């Protein structure tokens, strides 16, 4: 993930050379580089095992290979929205009200929306192959789509303007409310009659009826996509920090110019 370095001049309240020095290390660390490399290696591993080495399903044949993307993306979306809710709570209920929690909440929600979109797309493709249609007003599909729209709305609320803390307060409240939808989505197959199958791995009985190599490939997918999630969130929240600094510099400049105008007017 990349971003353009703001061209902040020293007269805007921030030394441009300081920004340049900070930029060199602010979005990339040894740990984030490790996560990036790990995500790439595991993704290549997943492609090999998912497309070549793992066997086809007895019933679904090769269409089951979509599972190696569909399930990990759904898991990461749940994880991302959970982190958004937790980070929102940390901002709202801790005395310090540190904006770093707000930036983590926003970054995690952005990445979560991306993965939830992939979940819906892969689910539609899988549904076409197994049910014969891309979409059905099924309980799991409908609640998942509603969850996706909710977090798109959350991201829109973050863009409404105002101070950084005003943004953090309003989006924090929404983040705490939105996370309550996750259990509804997860248990929708039990609460209502659903076309969607129940959990094959994380089922209460612990009876996993899946080929060992298929299960291993799925596990690799979970780790690969989770590593990618953490890598994206780390970089995105650091870019958000730079964006906040840039906005603060613009505000300081506007205030300085207004004071100069007032001073000039009083002398005149």
Neighbours of 116 (CB within 10 A): 26
* More confident: 27 or 114: 114
The verdict on residue 162 lying in a domain is yes
Q: Which two tokens stand for residue 97?
A: 């009200």
Q: Which of 98, 101, 110 is nearest to 155 (CA)?
A: 110
- Which pLDDT belongs to residue 212? 74
Here the CATH number for the domain that contains residue 51 is 1.20.120
Whether residue 263 is predicted with pLDDT greater than 70 in this model: the reply is no
**What is the C-alpha to C-alpha distance for residues 156 and 263, in angstroms, rounded to an integer?**
39
pLDDT at 5 over 50: no
Angle, nearest 10°, between helix axes 16-26 and 212-267? 170
With respect to residue 221, please indicate whether it lies within any of the assigned structural domains.
yes
The residue written with tokens 């019933």 in the block is 59
Q: Is residue 67 part of a domain?
A: yes
Q: What is the mean pLDDT of the chain?
A: 80
Q: Is residue 149 part of a domain?
A: yes
Distance CA 62, CA 70 (A): 14
Residue with tokens 């192959």: 129
Whole-angstrom Cα Rg for the chain: 23
Determine, yes or no, domain membership for 17.
no
Residue 172 neighbours by CB distance under 10 Å:
24
How many structural domains compose the chain? 1
| pLDDT at residue 4, rounded to an integer | 45
> Is 252 a member of any domain?
no
On whether residue 242 sits in a domain, the answer given is: no
Tokens for 167, please give them. 């943004």
What is the distance between the alpha carbons of residues 16 and 75, in angstroms, rounded to a whole number?
41
Q: Model-level pTM? A: 0.78
Q: Tell me the H-state helices in the chain.
A: 16-26, 30-48, 67-93, 99-130, 139-158, 164-178, 181-186, 188-191, 212-267
- The residue with greater pLDDT, 58 or 251, is 58
In which domain, by residue range, is 134 found?
Answer: 29-237
Residue 115 included in any domain: yes
């Amino acid at each position: 993930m990349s971003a353009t370095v703001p061209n902040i001049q020293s007269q805007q309240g921030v030394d441009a050379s300081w920004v340049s020095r900070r930029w060199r290390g602010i979005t990339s660390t040894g740990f984030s580089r490790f996560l990036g490399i790990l995500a790439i290696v595991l993704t290549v591993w997943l492609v090999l095992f998912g497309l070549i080495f793992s066997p086809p399903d007895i019933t679904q044949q090769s269409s089951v290979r979509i599972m190696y993307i569909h399930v990990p993306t759904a898991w990461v979306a749940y994880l991302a929205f959970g982190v958004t809710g937790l980070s929102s709570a940390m901002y709202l209920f801790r005395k310090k009200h540190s904006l770093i929690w707000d930036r983590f909440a926003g970054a995690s929600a952005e990445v979560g929306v991306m993965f939830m979109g992939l979940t819906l797309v892969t689910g539609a493709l899988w549904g076409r192959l197994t049910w014969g249609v891309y979409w059905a007003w099924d309980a799991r599909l409908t609640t998942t789509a509603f969850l996706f729209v909710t977090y798109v709305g959350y991201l829109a609320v973050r863009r409404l303007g105002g101070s950084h803390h005003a943004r953090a307060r309003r989006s924090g409240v929404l983040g705490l409310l939105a996370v309550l939808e996750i259990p509804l989505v997860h248990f929708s197959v039990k609460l209502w009659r659903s076309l969607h199958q129940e959990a094959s791995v994380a089922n209460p009985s612990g009876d996993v009826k899946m080929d060992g190599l298929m299960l291993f490939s799925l596990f690799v997918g979970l780790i690969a996509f989770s590593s990618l999630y953490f890598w994206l969130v780390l970089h995105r929240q650091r870019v958000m920090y730079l964006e906040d600094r840039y906005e603060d510099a613009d505000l300081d400049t506007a205030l300085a110019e207004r004071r100069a105008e007032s001073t000039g007017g009083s002398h005149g």
